[in-house]
Amino acid sequence: GFRYYVVGSCEFNSSKLNDIEFTLSYYYNKLEYIRFSSSVGKYVGYTEHGIKNAERWNNGPEVIARRAEKERYCFHNVGIFTESALTKS
């Protein structure tokens, strides 16, 4: 069989928005073929299929929606994660 999955992550070492990086990686059969990174600000393809999708997504509404994810998803949850970790340590 074939396996397709998407992994989204927020990497941070402080609760400041500038220090947070949002990444969204797309995998097919354990091979990452395309990634959006908030520090790059666009999709980057790693395979022939990923490069074609990156070109298309970077010229469409997909990239605009992803650019807002750092603030919408990460910044909102970093405060929750940080507070939870600090109160339990």
The pTM assigned to this predicted structure is 0.82
pLDDT, position 23? 96
Q: pLDDT class for 80, splitting at 50, 70, 90?
A: confident
pLDDT, position 89? 57
34-74 pLDDT tens trace: 999 999 999 999 999 999 999 999 999 999 999 998 888 88
Domain ranges of the chain: 4-88
Backbone angles phi, psi at 88, to 5 degrees: -100, -5
Phi-psi region of 75 (alpha: psi -120 to 50; beta: other; left: phi over 0): alpha
CA distance 30 to 56: 23
pLDDT at 9 over 60: yes
Fold for the domain defined by 4-88: 3.10.320
Average pLDDT of the chain to the nearest whole number: 88
